Amino acid sequence: MKVIVVTLPKSQYELTIEVSVEEMQAHLAKAVEKLGREVKIEGFRPGKATFEVLKTKVGELSIWEEAGYIAINKTIDQAIKENIKERIVGSPQVNVTKLAPDNPLEYKVVVAILPEVTLGEYKGLKIKTEKAEVADGEADKVIEDLREMRVKEVVSEEPIKDGDKATLDIRMFLDKVPLEGGQGSDTAVVIGKGYVVPGLDKKLIGARVGEERVFELPYPAEHYQKNLAGKLVEFKVKIKSVFSRELPALDENFASAFGLKTVEELKSNIKDTLLKEKEEKNRQKAEIKLIDKIIEKSKFADIPETLIKNEGEAMLSELSHNLEHQGAKFEDYLKSMNKTREQLMLDLMPDAVKRVKSALVIGAIALKEDIKVEDEEIHKEIEAVIKHYGGKQEIEERARSHEYHRYLENALTNQKVMAKLAEWNLEK
């Protein structure tokens, strides 16, 4: 393996790595085995087809491409470790520049190193951690939610009353024009539990199955869809079905479903859980204040643009995932904000810079205080992941990859640094 290193601006290096034809042979053997498991070939057990047989099935270039991926995975860590002495931050950017059968593999790697950080004070900052408290009403609400999860529902022919559930076909109009995305079928609404638009459930009381009701309601002024916020929207609602609902009694039988003897024990258990959650949130808030203060007292050299861009992309992915978890679409969110993906990325840049600076000061403190993660700790975590997923080959390959190894090293180092910073700075 040959490596040429070039220094780039803004705390970056470019490595040009060449893997010879001779070195590629072992990676080709692995590629043949892997592709042979994935492609069904008559007369051969999975993973046992020869190179020549597999070549007729998938093509020689496909085998070399798979071998190239394996070669990169096997050589990149060694190349970086032997040639870059500074601490690497972020994920390396990999670009294959030469890949052809019976030729050396060449790829380029751009790595960002920890920019020079001049740390200010990071000990004895006396950051207060708020006291966590749980009111009785909070535990009562959780108990009601648990009862709701165990509710019994029975089809009803009676008019809708408070506490019933109704399934509806809803059509929405603004200034007599149908709203895009405002048409829904079999929408479930529990009367008395509220709805996206307050008051809709109460408009249904007394209605029967098959009946259609028409009414207007104002959208909340703070609604995320700016084109609807505060507007008067017309609803045409048809009742599809009605269910009466019976909540389980709040007694010893209910408590026993959670392994407890009495309702009071259940309530106490819930309050303990809520208290721990609040304590964790307050600790996280205090840690954010602490990191902000350390950033404020520190100075930074030029930060690699790739770090900031990668962090922005990560933030967009997190936002998209959270919206999907709530049943919304990222594209609809962009429309409601009247922004493109690129414009939203620009909005996120200040927070992306802050998150990068947070990672940089944690990394600088780890270096200064010689806080490290041993290989045994990383391997222990990897084995735990593999065991958790039942030894699945795809998961095992991912868990043993250099990317996941680097991720774990960073994550575990960060945990150790934050534990020390909390010890040095947080006050109850």
d(CA 397, CA 389): 12
CATH of 151-246, one of 3.40.190.10, 3.40.50.300, 3.10.50.40, 3.90.79.10: 3.10.50.40
Q: Which DSSP category does 304 fall into? A: P
As a whole number, the mean pLDDT across the chain is: 90
Structure token pair of residue 134: 């749980």
Query: What CATH class has 259-427?
Result: mainly alpha
- Please provide the size of the chain in residues: 428
Amino acid 342 reads E
For residue 139, the tally of other CB atoms under 10 A from its CB is 20
For residue 184, the tally of other CB atoms under 10 A from its CB is 12
pLDDT at 390 over 90: no
d(CA 356, CA 307): 7
Q: Where are the domains of the chain?
A: 2-113, 151-246, 259-427
Query: What CATH class has 2-113?
Result: alpha beta
Q: Residue 398: its pLDDT value, please?
A: 85
Q: Residue 349: its pLDDT value, please?
A: 94
pTM above 0.85, yes or no: no
Q: Pick left, alpha or beta for residue 152 (phi over 0 → left; psi -120 to 50 → alpha; otherwise beta).
A: beta
For residue 231, the Cα-to-chain-centroid distance in whole angstroms is: 34
HSE toward the beta carbon, residue 197, CA cutoff 13 A? 20
Q: Residue 223: its pLDDT value, please?
A: 81
pLDDT confidence of 47, banded at 50, 70, 90? low
DSSP 3-state of 100: coil
For residue 417, the tally of other CB atoms under 10 A from its CB is 20
- Considering Cα of 82, then 88, then 91, then 92, what sign does the dihedral take? negative
The 10s digit of each residue's pLDDT in 239-273 is: 999 999 999 999 999 999 999 999 999 999 999 99
Q: Residue 258: its pLDDT value, please?
A: 93
DSSP 3-state of 173: strand
Q: Residue 123: its pLDDT value, please?
A: 95
DSSP 3-state of 302: coil
The 10s digit of each residue's pLDDT in 66-120 is: 999 999 999 998 999 899 988 787 778 899 999 999 999 999 999 988 788 999 9
d(CA 253, CA 251): 5
